[in-house]
Structure 1
Amino acid sequence: MASNEEITGPISQEDMEAADKLKNEANEYFKKQSYNNAIELYSKAIEKNPKNAVFFANRSIANLRLENFGYALSDASKAIELDRSYTKAYYRRAAAYMSLGKYKLALKDFEYVTKVRPNDQDAKMKYTECNKIVKKIAFEKAISVDKKEVNIADSINLEAMTIEDEYVGPALEDGVVTLKFVTELMEFYKQQKKLHKKYAYKILIDVKAYLQKQPSLIDIKVADDAKFTVCGDIHGQYYDLMNIFKLNGLPSETNPYLFNGDFVDRGSFSVECIFTLFSFKLLFPNHFYMSRGNHETLDMNRMYGFRGEVSSKYTSQMADLFTEVYNWLPLAHCINGRVLVMHGGLFSKDDVTLDDIRKVDRNKQPPEDGIMCELLWSDPQPMAGRAPSKRGVGCQFGPDVTSTFLQRNGLDYVIRSHEVKNDGYEIAHDGKCITVFSAPNYCDTMGNLGAFITMNGKDLKPNFTTYEAVAHPDVKPMAYANSFFNMLCQ
């Protein structure tokens, strides 16, 4: 999608009227949360009249909703270029910067608006709120000194935590996750009850200790006659996670699973999702796998709800511990040496090998480029070659890139997640790049199906099961998200 359309010559009245009509149609699609259709029509409006800043600002917010932060940033910048006084365009750009963790650049946009519109109370308020976030992050960095030296898991005193008499929820047995514990926990969560903090902390500490010993790329062996399941994004949709287990059976040594990142954020039952998944990880460590997604990161958790949810249901200290645990999640899994599974996608260079992935030092927040970043953020594109990412991070890669990577590494195909698909999955690049997304009716608005993949060890042929969203308690998505960020994205 181009956002730097050439502006040449005068625009006819006819084209301006046609563009306005297209914009109005796009707005209707936007109201129905049909963002791809809205973007298509805004783009057509821009073709007719590339001098109207509103069209670019509107396309920017639609791209923000689809997490196309790179496109959103580019469109907002274009709107500003066309109309320096257009306040909304600065807000759009600020929201895109914040989504990319570039809070100081967001602050600059608010500062500019307050200077050119000194009496605008809304602009002043947004500047003040953004400034608070920037200062808070600076303060968190200052008190953490060197994150590698501060080990939250080691500072937790479980012995000092007492289980109150009135607590009647699931309990670890001698400090260990059992099948009884997990099955009780899932039912407890369905009733919107909260696991005791002592057990919650113990699970996190134990998961971290296990993950620290694992490589960045996990090799999985699946026997010829055995079944294996791969799930995509869950995004805090706990009741849909329960539906997956209902449709496909609970995880066990004979029913292994891989959950491919983005367990949390957006959906407002992220705490329930992650503790259920981590419990299964501890129960069946060699038959239950979890990959890191781009939402198992501090910036995403800060904006999209997980950090707020953990702080609300437990403490900000536990939110910090989650960040510490997520840093140790593996970045990719290889099934029988033939199928590579990662959350995002492939790379900006052709020479990357499986050994290169194995050697990645993953115990950190993802950098803005390189192998780790691209595993979490990249997306496939239908055309050959590579392109800058629509998300502003990672890259877009074509079928030739996929083919070269598979050939170099002796693989059959790749599975990735990271993108909403109407059918819950998409087969691209001549069947060599499969997307699976397991959160149906994403954010209660997208209307998509969810899907998971099953295969047997012998032929590793992907089979797709799709399903609709199930009912959940009346807690809206993004209920715990940064309220200021939510306001920007209205």
Structure 2
Amino acid sequence: MADSSKEKVEITEDRIQEAEEVKIKANEFFKDGHYQTAFELYSYAITLNPTCAVYHGNRSFCSIKLENYGDALNDANKALEIDRTYIKAYYRRASANMVLGKFKASLKDYETVVKFRPKDKDARLKYTECKKIVQKQAFEKAIAVDHNKKSFSETLDVDSIVVESSYDGPHLEDGKVTLKFLQELLERFKNQKKIHRKYAYTILINIKNYFREVDTLCDIFIPKDKRFTVCGDIHGQFYDLLNIFELNGLPSENNPYLFNGDFVDRGSFSCEVIFSLFSLKLLYPDCFFMSRGNHETVSMNQMYGFQGEVKSKYSADMVELFTEVYNWLPLAHLINNKVMVMHGGLFSRDDVTLEEIRKIDRNRQPPEQGLMCELLWSDPQAQDGRSPSKRGVAIQFGPDVTEKFCSHNNLDYIIRSHEVKPDGYEVAHGGKCITVFSAPNYCDQMGNKGAFITMGSDLKPQFTTYNAVPHPDVKPMAYANSLMSMFGFA
């Protein structure tokens, strides 16, 4: 992000007045959820008057809403350079660090706010909530040193769980997913009902055992005269997932799919989405595929709703089992040896090979840097070269980086997701970098279309776009961490 405040600008009264008028317009766009437009207007206000901390603070909040946490931190820091007593900048920096999982840094800013405003009940509440998270993490780290400790799935006795006679939902047959079970599952979820916890646990254990045996980079082959579908982020929008199946057909041996990460969080039907996708994977293991996204992680699930939703609909123990499953999800897929699909993007090095990706130790939470982090978090940029990510994690990569990676690994192009696009997809980098995003009207406020890609063995991508469909009156982020609602995320 260019720091226009470094330019030498004569701050006249006319410029100050115009900047204030632009800020007022930006505030209105922000209130209406048009965060990108608001961001651009705040940026213009900053060019007019770069010495106003409020403009940087407001733009920081826009960046948080746009999930560009790196930009948010930069603006919060700049606001504090201008005015160390500007309390909202501490809030903005704290919230950006919070969603990046940097709770200690976040807590430090809350301590500052409380020191400035000891009688501020809201500040005290945020400080208390963040401190609880830091203490919980310290406790979990302390008890995690037992390397002989069994995983939750190893201690769970599913056979002892009784299915009550009053349960009227679908039943697994000999512990296995059948087409009948899947169809009844989708209908039950559509009617806002749960499956029995015995079957939920069984699905998770079975899918974990399956994913443990697959590669970090999985190979997919599209036979001649067959088609294949790639979907992007779903983010708990179950009714839009059903619409994809309505438009493109239910997955089957003759209608294979790949879902490219970020199945959960934000949308408040994440349990329904993930159990549907896992059931499809168990039913069609050789023609239904799933990649890990940056939201299949503990820190994201803790803040953006999935953890709270699982606890509300099933149990706290199940959260731990989901984490074990997500750690085994593949990080990328290779279609016909020519198209690589990953959730985020490319790397800080030019010499990365497919073989190196296959060897990544993925059974863990993603590190803050390196290949695994970049596969889940990186984004493309229009200009050549690399730059720090707007998100504050991984990198942004240009057309030349994509060209070198594809040439080095004999690929035609890459497909990734991870970013909202107005039309649900974007073709960039001379056709070599395609983004697909499948959650229309993201969070019920972005107004974007969703999209999916279909291709045959010739690997030529065809795009289908669609609008959001109605869903029950449960708002996005309904299960998010209480700190998120304090910051206006919910």
TM-score range, shorter chain: over 0.9
Tell me the distance in 2 between the aligned counterparts of 1:252 and 1:468: 24
- Tell me the residue number matched to 2:200: 200
1:482 is matched with which residue? 481
Q: CA deviation at 1:149?
A: 4.0
What is the alpha-carbon distance in structure 2 between the residues aligned to residue 409 and residue 224 of structure 1?
23
The CA deviation at 1:409 is 0.2
> Is the contact made by 1:235 and 1:265 (CA closer than 8 Å) also made in structure 2?
yes
Partner residue of 1:437? 437
Distance 1:340 1:253 in 2: 22
Q: Report the 3-state secondary structure (helix = DSSP H, G, I; strand = E; otherwise coil) of the residue aligned with 1:289.
A: strand
In structure 2, C-alpha distance between the alignment counterparts of 1:314 and 1:110, rounded to whole Å: 33
Structure 2 distance, partners of 1:8, 1:203, is 61
Show the counterpart of 1:109.
109
- TM-score, with normalisation over the residues of structure 1? 0.98
| Match of residue 154 from structure 1 | 154
Aligned match of 1:411: 411
Q: Aligned-pair distance for 1:26? A: 1.1
Partner of 1:91: 91
**Partner secondary structure for residue 266 of structure 2:** coil
Q: Aligned AA for 1:474?
A: D
CA RMSD of aligned residues (A): 1.2
Deviation (angstroms), 1:59: 0.7
Query: Percent identical across equivalent pairs?
Result: 64
CA-CA distance at 1:212 after TM superposition: 0.4
In the TM superposition, what whole-angstrom CA distance separates every residue of 1:76-118 from its partner, at most 9, and x where no partner exists? 1111221111111111110000011000000000111122322
The equivalences for 1:366-405 within 5 A come to 366-405=366-405
Q: In the alignment, which residue of structure 1 is the partner of 2:36?
A: 36
Question: Does the Cα contact within 8 Å between 1:3 and 1:74 map onto a contact in 2?
Answer: no
Structure 2: gaps spanning 5 or more residues: none
Distance 1:105 1:384 in 2: 33
- Which letter does structure 2 place at the counterpart of 1:472? H
Structure 1 residue 315 corresponds to structure 2 residue 315:
yes
CA distance in 1 between partners of 2:284 and 2:455 (Å): 19
1:108 alignment partner, SS class: helix
1:125 maps to what in 2? 125
Are positions 1:325 and 2:325 aligned together?
yes
2:469 corresponds to 1:470: yes
Tell me how many residue pairs correspond in the alignment. Answer: 489
Write the distance in 2 (CA, Å) between the matches of 1:316 and 1:111.
Answer: 30
| Conserved 8 A contact 2:216-2:359 | yes
- The letter for the 1-side match of 2:485 is N
**Worse-matched range after superposition: 32-41 or 229-238:** 32-41
Distance 1:208 1:270 in 2: 18
Indicate the residue corresponding to 2:173 in structure 1: 173
**Alpha-carbon distance between aligned partners in 1 of 2:283 and 2:373, rounded to the nearest angstrom:** 30
Listed as ranges, the matches of 1:256-295 within 5 Å are: 256-295=256-295
Give, in whole Å, the separation in 1 of the partners of 2:147 and 2:225. 45
Deviation at 1:148, TM superposition (A): 7.8
Q: 1:442 to 1:177 in 2, by over 3 A?
A: same
Cα gap change, 1:94 to 1:328, in 2 (>3 Å): same
Find the counterpart in structure 2 of residue 216 from structure 1. Answer: 216
- After TM superposition, give the deviation of residue 7 of structure 1 in Å: 5.9
In structure 1, C-alpha distance between the alignment counterparts of 2:253 and 2:347, rounded to whole Å: 33
Equivalent residue for 1:227?
Answer: 227
Structure 1 residues not aligned, in runs of 5+: none
What amino acid sits opposite 2:356 in the alignment?
D
Q: 2: distance between equivalents of 1:23 and 1:269?
A: 36
The superposition leaves residues 116-136 of structure 1 with CA deviations (integer Å, 9 ceiling, x where unpaired) of: 322333222221111111112
Q: Deviations over 1:227-256 (max 9, x none)?
A: 000000000000000000000000001100
Aligned-partner Cα distance in 2 for 1:312–1:121: 28
Are 1:216 and 1:330, in contact at CA under 8 Å, matched by a contact in 2? yes
AA paired with 1:460? Answer: L
Alpha-carbon distance in 2 for matches of 1:4, 1:179: 58
Counterparts of residues 346-361 of structure 1 (less than 5 Å): 346-361=346-361
3-state SS, counterpart of residue 5 of structure 1:
helix
Q: Secondary structure at the match of 1:404?
A: helix
TM-score (norm 2): 0.98
Residues 146 and 413 of structure 1: CA distance in aligned 2, closer, same or farther (over 3 Å): farther
Whole-Å separation in 1 of the counterparts to 2:448 and 2:289: 25
Query: Matched residue of 2:303: which SS?
Result: helix
Q: Are 1:298 and 2:304 counterparts?
A: no
